[in-house]
Amino acid sequence: MSTQTFTLPDVGEGLTEAEIVSWKVKVGDTVAINDVLCEIETAKSLVELPSPYAGTVTALLVPEGQTVEVGTPIISVGSGADDAALAPAAPAAAPQEAAQPAAAAQDDFKPVHGTLVADTEQGAGPLADTEQGAGPLVGSGPKADAVKRRARKAPAGVAPAVPAASTPAPAARSQAAPSQAPAAVVVPSAASSDDERHGLGGALSGLVNRVLAKPPVRKIARDLGIDLALVTPTGARGEVTREDLVSYQAQREAEVAQSGSFWGASAKSQERRIERIPVKGVRKATAKAMVDSAFQAPHVSIFVDIDASRTMEFVQRLKKSRDFEGIKVSPLLILAKAVIWAAARNPSVNSEWVSTPEGDEIHVKHYMNLGIAAATPRGLLVPNIKDAQDLSLKELAIALNELATTARSGKTKPADMQGGTLTVTNVGALGIDTGTPIINPGEVAIVAFGTIKQKPWVVSGEVIPRWITTLGGSFDHRVVDGDLSARFMADVAAIMEEPALLLD
């Protein structure tokens, strides 16, 4: 069987790394070209990777939850009809053993504790991440470039460990007594006292350097912020099971409930819990972009209060219109249209500051890729509506709905977040009056849309209740002077106060 290795591709412009979120296949599965292999999280979005090969999956080279660089091998697919390499063959001299259920033989070699060479050489499932972040182990069967290790002597009374670079031949395995369990693959460790304290003690202490657990269990523990060393294992081979995690988490939640607050253990307790959240994917990219923008572009912010009562009336009329039947309409639609209209009257807000070897330039863009900041479970995303200036009010409403739905489901494509020219962030959806937003990198302006609520407002000398909102705008002062930013915000405000101006 010939084997093809698929490396992590660059699915977006400038992608350098991605996290393997979940595998959609397992070792032994048959895949066709374009079948989905896995989901990866890049710095911009969640992406499904299709298979470029047809054949049988022979190895998953990267575990779920691990971040790897572009070009790293992540899966091997074998082509051809020789599937015998995926399972040990039964010897002719032992017919009674050949009649044993295949599932029992496979169960002897399925991984229970993450990345072990003996497991991976049999093509037994995803590799688990190592605590030191070691590279993935390739394979189905011994390789010429496999790591070679000398056999170590085990303490008296302990079964010798299987060498990491070799696996017993199929015939040798099947000649073992049916009741005999396979020798565990173990790694020496100096922390024997820690092993004993966590219940792994006895003969295995001093040989095992971490808690045994299957890759899915390790992923759940990472997601919940649970240290596996603190969980009492109940598995048949001393491994932590999913049920152990459930029990431990329930106990931890009960302790928090008894404390009466989020803060967990009481002040009298010696235990202090710290939740550690790795910075990666969207959060990592957002953090870098915001720092770069905040310290590279000199920000200036201005604010304006608006009587949006006529906008609210206009939205209600659109909701009742047959042309907008089945389309979600909100004040954000009117603001988006107002921003497009105002940018046409003040073109420099729709531009970019560019530094070149010949000198700095301002690139004014005669198109509007309107970015809409979206808070999602994965972090802040800013997809944009391409050529928004060409859309009718109805088409813009449909585009906004599709953008929001796609972002919430985590299916926003990297291309949808590239090339933005001006951004709107709707902080009013969370009940916030306004804010000082940070400009999206590659742009020079962003508008924060605050909540719309009834307030006392003076109209023709009388104080009456009106629907009031506050807009906040941040601008790159290298490009947008105070006068220009004020005129732009005044134009946006004019549309919000009188949407009929859009008909001009």
Sign of the torsion formed by the C-alpha atoms of 167, 168, 173 and 176? negative
Strand ranges (DSSP E) for 276-358? 299-307, 351-356
Which of 358, 321, 364 minimizes the C-alpha distance to 344?
A: 364
Position 354, amino acid: V
> Would residue 363 show up in a list of annotated catalytic residues for this protein?
no
Torsions phi, psi of 396, nearest 5?
-65, -40
Is beta strand 384-385 parallel, antiparallel or unpaired with respect to 2-7?
Answer: unpaired
Helix, strand, coil % over all residues of the chain, rounded to 5: 30, 20, 45
Position 192, amino acid: S
- The three-state secondary structure class of 469 is strand
Q: Are 420 and 441 in contact (CB under 8 A)?
A: no
Please, which residues bridge with residue 422 across strands?
Answer: 370
DSSP state of 82: -
Which residues are CB-contacts of 39 (< 8 A; sequence separation ≥ 6)?
20, 21, 22, 24, 46, 47, 48, 49
Selecting among 198, 363, 366, 477, the annotated active-site residue is 477
Q: Are 45 and 35 in contact (CB under 8 A)?
A: no
- The three-state secondary structure class of 421 is coil
CA distance 143 to 153: 24
Position 8, amino acid: L
Q: Which two tokens stand for residue 481?
A: 């002077």
As a whole number of Å, the CA-based R_g of the chain is: 30
Which residues are part of the catalytic machinery?
Answer: 477
